[in-house]
């Protein structure tokens, strides 16, 4: 039997995913050891391999078939725009991609005027402003603490993920526009889906049941 | 000054054993095309941009390499072959009502994004069957692809076939707007079940149509099961005609003895409006991308002034070679060779031997021994697939032979 390889986005999402997988009888004891320094975890019995990667790299690993399946947030999928099958919504990690800024910036979003946008997601921001709002913007790519940008005057608004909005409010920022809803997705390599159809479909079908049970 | 030796991002050199294998692979591909009666055709590397524009090609304009000629015309390096072949078919074969079989092999140029490990110059091989609308024509093309893969040594692969008329028929009946249609197409193509349900809900698509559309991303697998379910799901006449044709196609493929390589995917729609009938992709292990893609495009030639139903496909030779390598499938590259080492004093003897071997079609390398060290020679032997050495050393009269002279296998 060939190994199926599953790429997980490091962090909370990986833990939730493993919990869901456990409910359908897929586990990986190697992974549960908190002190492990391994990069790839194997379950020989089930013919499965797991690895953790930076979330933004999960779509890349899956597109090239280095991983057959992956679990990652929809924000990353949209930003990376890779050739993938997006087969299942896990219904966890729910949040929204928003345009945020000080309340007075709302006016500047209405008149197609040139504004500066800071974001970790330049592709999403560009698609939203150019193709949906038809507004010309200057996009500044940042790698973290995006909320800083409008506060210190680097940008007029930001495009970022909003979960509860707590950080925003504390810093005097508001959600100005919602771009899209986000949650965690299971993605599959397009070749693997066909070459290993039986095993992958089986995992997806059973996961779907688990997701349904949890969402009730 | 720093020497400039490396190639630009996305292009590369081929040499040695790897290139020999690639050439051999190309030979086998060409041979299969000929066995099916296809004639080779060569089109220019660059042509007018309009030949490859939006409705005719599958590559977006911003991914093409564009240049201008002296008259200010926009030219592009060919990103794809099909439109160029269609142009040729309209230009040179306008008078015949009989089918035309054309095949090609050459490089294409697509300016992909950087840092994705994708080559910008790739070798494509493909064939187009022009002026043949029948199910038997479809079967011929699929059987040829399967024969071709078997000829290069692949054993585990799948050709997945769909028919865009199933989807098109369903939507036409329902009178759905182009915008929604494009959204549905993307979701179904990406097997995005969740997104699909969202669109159906937003647009109040219900009943039988909603049921069949939500099943579409899942309608892939063995032909019998898929066709049975697909027929139960709808009463749309266009869609049912598509399943009937697929059934006949499967029967034809059975006659060619290639059924075991065929699966169906009715959710495969292609991201362009280009295809008008069957559509297919081929997959194997060891590569994350498909190795062949194609389909029927009955209206492409009309754009060049000639109406002719056509079907064709393109194989990415580089990805195919990558798959063969990663599956450890033996590929013959360079032929085994003889190395003749000589001292100048005995060149006459060595030359006679070389002529004799070459006349028997055995590759011969000549090497003057003066100043060569043993390690260097060993290295040469290793790198050049030498299986036999003949040494004509000076001051002696014998010939030292190591290894057997290979037998010509062509």
Q: Tens digits of per-residue pLDDT, B390-402? A: 999 988 889 999 9
| Judgement on whether residues A175 and A188 belong to the same structural domain of the protein | no
* A64 interfaces chain B, CB cutoff of 8 Å: yes
Q: Distance (Å, rounded) from C-alpha B371 to C-alpha B125? A: 46
Gap from B221 CA to chain A (nearest CA, Å): 8
Q: Could you tell me if A88 lies within 8 Å of chain B, comparing CB atoms? A: yes
- Give residue for tokens 């929809």: A74
For residue B60, give both structure tokens.
């977006």
Q: Of the segments A78-82, A185-189, B402-406, which one has the largest average pLDDT value?
A: A185-189
Quick one: pLDDT band at residue A4, thresholds 50, 70, 90? very high
Closest-CA residue to A203 (of A77, A8, A69, A89): A69
Is A47 in the B-facing interface, judged by CB distances under 8 Å? no
* Domain CATH for A194: 3.40.190.10
- Mean pLDDT of the A89-111 span: 92
- Confidence band for B48, pLDDT divided at 50, 70 and 90: very high
Q: Are residues A105 and A118 in the same domain?
A: yes
Tell me if chain B has a CB within 8 Å of the CB of A188: yes
Residues A206 and A102 in one domain: no
Q: Give the per-residue pLDDT at B301.
A: 84
Are A51 and A83 part of one and the same domain? yes
Domains and CATH numbers, chain B: 16-326 (3.30.930.10), 337-402 (3.40.50.12590)
DSSP, res B244: H
A189 plus A87 within the same structural domain: yes
Distance between CA atoms of B284 and B322, rounded to whole angstroms?
11
Give the structural domain span for A128: 95-181
**Beta strands of B33-188 (E only): which ranges?**
39-40, 46-48, 66-68, 74-77, 100-109, 121-130, 157-163
- Considering only CB atoms, B158 lies closest to which of A63, A190, A194, namely A194
Please list, in sequence order, all residues whose beta carbon lies within 8 angstroms of the beta carbon of residue B350, skipping any fewer than 6 positions away: B340, B342, B366, B390, B392
Q: Kindly state whether residues A115 and A191 are assigned to the same domain.
A: no
Q: Which one of B194, B218, B320, B327 makes the best mutation probe of the A interface by having the most chain A beta carbons within 10 Å?
A: B194
- For B366, phi and psi rounded to 5 degrees? -105, 135
Residue A141: pLDDT over 90: yes
Of B149, B155, B158, B168, nearest in space to B280 by CA = B158
Q: How would residue A122 be classed by pLDDT, with cut points 50, 70 and 90?
A: very high
Tokens of residue A132, six digits:
């949906």
Put simply, the chain A residues between 192 and 211 with a CB less than 8 A from any chain B CB are: 192-195, 197
Output the six-digit token pair for A1. 């039997």
Q: Which of B190, B265, B287 sits opposite A191 (nearest CB)?
A: B287
Give the helix/strand (H/E) hosting B19.
Answer: helix B16-35
Residues A36 and A70 in one domain: yes
Question: For chain A, how many structural domains are there in total?
Answer: 2
3-state secondary structure of B387: strand
Same domain, A163 and A104: yes
B44 burial via Cβ count (<10 Å: 0-12, 13-18, 19+): exposed
CB B126 within 8 A of CB B294: yes
In this structure, the answer to whether residues A187 and A203 fall within a common structural domain is yes
User: A-contacting residues of B 116-175, CB under 8 Å?
Assistant: 117, 156, 158, 160
> Does the CB of B107 have a partner CB in chain A at under 8 Å?
no
Output the pTM of the full model. Answer: 0.85
Query: Is A59 found in the same domain as A23?
Result: yes
Query: Are A73 and A101 members of one domain?
Result: no
DSSP letters, B276-328, are -SEEEEEEETT-SS-SEEEEE-TTTGGGGT----EEEEEEEHHHHHHHHHHTT
Q: Quickly state the pLDDT bin for B287 (edges 50, 70, 90).
A: confident
Q: Which chain B residues are within 8 Å of A66, Cβ to Cβ?
A: 288
Q: Is A28 helix (H, G, I), strand (E, B) or coil?
A: coil
The pLDDT tens digits for B315-343 are 999 999 999 999 999 888 888 999 999 99
Whether A113 has a pLDDT exceeding 80, the answer reads yes
Closest CA to B73 of B56, B92, B50: B50
User: Tokens for A39?
Assistant: 């990069």
Can you give the pLDDT at residue B2? Answer: 79
- Domain match, A124 and A177 both: yes
Q: What is the mean pLDDT of residues A29-53?
A: 89
- pLDDT for position B271: 67
Q: Is the pLDDT of residue B214 over 80?
A: yes
Of A64, A86, A195, the CB nearest to B192: A86
Judge contact between B42 and B104, C-beta under 8 A.
yes
For the segment B106-126, what is each residue's pLDDT rounded down to a tens digit?
999 999 876 777 889 999 999
What's residue B394's pLDDT? 85
Residue B54: which pLDDT band, with cuts at 50, 70 and 90?
Answer: low
pLDDT at B21: 93
Mean pLDDT (whole number) for A80-103: 92
């Amino acid at each position: 039997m060939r190994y199926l390889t599953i790429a997980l986005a490091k962090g909370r999402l990986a833990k939730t995913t493993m919990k869901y997988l456990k409910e359908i009888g897929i586990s990986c004891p190697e992974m549960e050891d908190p002190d492990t320094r391994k990069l790839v975890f194997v379950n020989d019995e089930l013919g499965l391999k797991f690895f953790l990667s930076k979330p933004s790299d999960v779509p890349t690993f899956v597109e090239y078939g280095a991983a057959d399946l992956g679990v990652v947030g929809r924000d990353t999928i949209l930003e990376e725009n890779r050739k993938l099958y997006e087969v299942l919504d896990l219904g966890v990690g729910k949040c929204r991609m928003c345009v945020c800024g000080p309340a007075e910036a709302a006016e500047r979003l209405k008149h197609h005027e040139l504004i500066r946008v800071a974001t970790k997601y330049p592709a999403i921001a560009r698609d939203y402003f150019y193709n949906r709002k038809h507004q010309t913007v200057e996009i500044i790519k940042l790698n973290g603490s995006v909320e800083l940008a409008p506060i210190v005057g680097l940008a007029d608004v930001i495009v970022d993920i909003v979960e509860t909005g707590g950080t925003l409010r504390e810093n005097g920022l508001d959600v100005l526009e919602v771009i899209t809803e986000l949650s965690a997705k299971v993605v599959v390599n397009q070749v693997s889906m066909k070459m290993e159809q039986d095993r992958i479909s089986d995992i997806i079908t059973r996961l779907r049941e688990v997701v349904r049970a949890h969402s009730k | 000054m720093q020497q400039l030796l490396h190639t630009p991002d996305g292009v590369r050199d081929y040499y040695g054993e790897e290139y020999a294998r690639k050439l051999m692979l190309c030979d086998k591909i060409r041979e299969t095309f000929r066995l099916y009666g296809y004639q080779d055709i060569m089109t220019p590397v660059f042509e007018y941009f309009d030949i490859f524009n939006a409705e005719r090609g599958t590559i977006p304009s911003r991914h093409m390499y564009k240049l201008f000629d002296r008259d200010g015309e926009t030219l592009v390096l060919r990103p794809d072959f099909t439109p160029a072949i269609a142009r040729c078919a309209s230009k040179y074969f306008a008078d015949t009502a009989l089918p035309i079989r054309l095949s090609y092999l050459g490089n294409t140029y697509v300016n992909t994004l950087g840092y994705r490990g994708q080559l910008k110059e790739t070798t494509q091989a493909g064939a187009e069957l022009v002026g043949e609308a029948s199910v038997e024509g479809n079967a011929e093309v699929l059987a040829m692809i399967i024969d071709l893969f078997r000829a290069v040594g692949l054993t585990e692969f799948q050709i997945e076939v769909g028919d865009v008329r199933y989807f098109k028929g369903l939507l036409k009946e329902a009178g759905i707007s182009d915008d929604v249609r494009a959204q549905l197409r993307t979701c179904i193509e990406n097997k995005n079940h969740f997104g699909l349900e969202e669109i159906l809900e937003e647009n109040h698509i219900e009943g039988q149509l909603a049921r069949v559309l939500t099943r579409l991303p899942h309608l892939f697998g063995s032909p019998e099961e898929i066709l049975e379910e697909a027929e139960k799901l709808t009463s749309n006449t266009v869609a049912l005609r598509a399943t009937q044709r697929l059934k006949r196609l499967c029967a034809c493929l059975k006659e060619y003895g290639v059924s075991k390589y065929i699966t169906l995917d009715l959710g495969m729609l292609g991201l362009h409006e280009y295809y008008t009938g069957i559509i297919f992709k081929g997959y194997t292990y060891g590569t994350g991308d498909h190795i062949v893609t194609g389909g029927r495009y009955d209206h492409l030639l009309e754009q060049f002034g000639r109406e002719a139903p056509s079907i064709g496909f393109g194989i990415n030779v580089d990805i195919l070679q990558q798959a063969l390598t990663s599956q450890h499938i033996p590929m013959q590259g360079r032929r085994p060779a003889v190395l003749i080492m000589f001292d100048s004093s005995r060149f006459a003897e060595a030359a006679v031997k070389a002529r004799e071997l070459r006349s028997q079609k055995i590759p011969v390398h000549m090497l003057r021994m003066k100043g060569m060290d043993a390690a260097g020679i060993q290295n040469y032997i290793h790198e050049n697939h030498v299986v036999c050495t003949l040494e004509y050393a000076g001051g002696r009269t014998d010939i030292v032979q190591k290894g057997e002279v290979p037998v010509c296998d062509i």
